[in-house]
Amino acid sequence: MTRFERWLTFDSETKAELEALTDPKEIEDRFYKNLEFGTGGMRGIMGAGPNRMNRYTVAKATKGLADYLKSEKKGNSVAIAYDSRNNSRMFAEISACVLAKEGIAVHIFDTLQPTPVLSYAVRSLGCDAGIVVTASHNPKEYNGYKVYDRDGCQLVPKYANRLIEFVNAVSFDDILYVKDNSFTDLCSEGAIKFIDNGLIEKFIDDCKALSLYRDNTDLKIVYTPLHGTGNIPVRKILSPYDVTVVSEQEMPDGDFSTVRSPNPEEKDALNIAIKCGEKTGADLVIGTDPDCDRVGAAVRHGGEFILLTGNQTGLLLLDFILKMRKLPAKPAVVNTIVTGSLGADIAKKYGCALIQTLTGFKYIGEKICQWERSGEYDYVFGYEESYGYLAGPHVRDKDAVSSSMLIAEMAAYYKAAGKTLIDALGEIYAEYGFCLDSLETLVLKGKDGAEKIRSSMELLRKSGGAVLEGVSETVDYSLGIGDLPKENVLRFIWPDGSWAAVRPSGTEPKLKMYFSVKGADRSSAAARLEKIKKTLCEKIN
């Protein structure tokens, strides 16, 4: 309550919002801690208070970034981008002002841009760091703040932890000046500069350079940007095709008024696009999330649209890329420890190494950077089950722009052979064995939810392999496995290679449970999956 009283003095708008609060639990949640700046940056519900996304928590994070860069003698310039969410532009301008006042040159986009474009800009402009204001696929109440290094890669723990120390050392009293927005003045003085549109065109050209199939086709596509940043770049990359854009979801809308959540991982996010596909006779539906780093797809097959999971799209892209591309001398594919099992078998067939990282595309980006310097491997493709894919080193984060192009090319390639992507997926299962991948999520909000997540992980950790019948190996990544950083993840493995994994979300109040279950066919795998899910959920609840 002492902190609550202090925040009442910050500005009149903050005071009015806080004085309108009547629920003690709501006040507790806003003030019992600072919004955590973690290895994935910062993400939270927007509102007043230290445990919310607002101008003061954004300024605090940015002042910490400025102090970190100057301590590393890397404080020359930073690139900034933002998505279509409510307040994203304001948060980006506040970040620019804080950096400029600290003597750091700022390059900022004048219009909303996809996250992969920010990654591209950092490297193209030779910046020392990058910021993108986005909460990716989270519901409308959220916003977030991600930091990139000079390679255009999100910070991995050994760097993020040092940045976190600087952010935590900043007090709110240090940044109260941000209530007076000086963005226009700093632009006039040249401390903040807008990024030329030519950079975006270069990004599109580099995406097009990844093309693998350009034959003429009558493939029909419906595309939805889900009110986000993908509308212009994805339409450009899909220009060779007959594309219908979902008009209701074409324009930026921070309230995401046509969907429950703008997340292509969730089935209902593509409902309107699928209805449009049914009307237009489309072969393929593609949807990208608000910052256009994730992409989901639905395929017309047997007269109806079938949604592909993130794992299925990853397998299809992996097989297609390795089949169509002339591979380098030391090819390697990267995925994460919670990505489905069959990728290793496909990579092996084509003579590719498959390297697994912890969850988070920053670790895949880190591998690209490491291999460019060491020459140990040649990066070919990286993917994760959460609908993120990257087929080239033009950026160091998942890219739904180039991935949308490759998904369309895959569909056109198989259509020319009289097949759909569902047929192609069936051929993969026929060759490598059937595997059913699934994700279950428990939403546990507030202080009580955080404690439930902590106690659930502790319970599973103590139980070990006894949690699930027949488990032959339990892997606890919090102990440090190989050269991987320590992470709060548990993985339970069966003798046939099936597995289940549990981890707290790094960006939302959720406990995530991942499954990759093998079987002789879909029905046997589904029965086994449901049994494992039920057992694990009962243990937690």
Per-residue pLDDT reduced to its tens digit, 100-128: 999 999 999 999 999 999 999 999 999 99
What's residue 216's pLDDT? Answer: 95
Is residue 171 part of the annotated active site? The answer reads no
Instruction: Give percent of the chain above pLDDT 70.
Output: 100
The residue behind tokens 């959920």 is: 537
Q: Which of 512, 534, 521, 467 lies closest to 494, judged by CA?
A: 467
What's residue 458's pLDDT? Answer: 92
pLDDT for 453 beyond 80: yes
Rounded Cα distance, 138 and 290, in Å: 9
What's residue 148's pLDDT? Answer: 97
Provide the whole-model pTM: 0.93
| DSSP E strands, 1-54 | 42-45
pLDDT in tens, 240-271: 999 999 999 999 999 999 999 999 988 899 99
Q: State the pLDDT confidence band at 38, using cuts at 50, 70 and 90.
A: confident
Q: Is residue 85 a contact partner of residue 53, using CB atoms and an 8 Å limit?
A: no
* 226 backbone φψ class: left, alpha, beta (φ>0; ψ -120 to 50): left
Q: Which domains does the chain show, CATH number per domain?
A: 29-196 (3.40.120.10), 204-432 (3.40.120.10), 434-540 (3.30.310.50)
What's residue 466's pLDDT? Answer: 85
How high is the mean pLDDT of the chain?
94
Q: State the pLDDT confidence band at 539, using cuts at 50, 70 and 90.
A: confident
Of these residues, 88, 95, 119, 136, which one is catalytic? Answer: 136
What's residue 65's pLDDT? Answer: 96
pLDDT for 56 beyond 90: yes
pLDDT in tens, 151-178: 999 999 889 999 999 999 999 999 999 9
pLDDT for 227 beyond 90: yes
pLDDT in tens, 463-517: 887 889 999 999 999 998 888 888 999 999 999 989 999 999 876 788 999 999 9
Neighbours of 250 (CB within 10 A): 15
What's residue 443's pLDDT? Answer: 87
pLDDT in tens, 306-340: 999 999 999 999 999 999 999 999 999 999 999 99
The residue behind tokens 């040159």 is: 105
pLDDT for 147 beyond 90: yes
What are the b/e assignments for 251-270, b being 16+ CB within 10 Å? ebbbebebbebbbbbbeebb
The single-letter DSSP state of residue 437 is E
Token duo for residue 162: 């040092």
Q: State the pLDDT confidence band at 538, using cuts at 50, 70 and 90.
A: confident
Q: Which of 450, 449, 459 lies closest to 502, judged by CA?
A: 459
Which long-range contacts link 235-241 to residues 24+ away (Cβ below 8 Å)?
236/204, 237/204, 237/207, 237/208, 237/401, 237/402, 237/404, 237/405, 238/286, 238/404, 238/405, 238/408, 240/214, 241/217, 241/408, 241/412
Mean pLDDT of 182-193: 95
The single-letter DSSP state of residue 151 is T
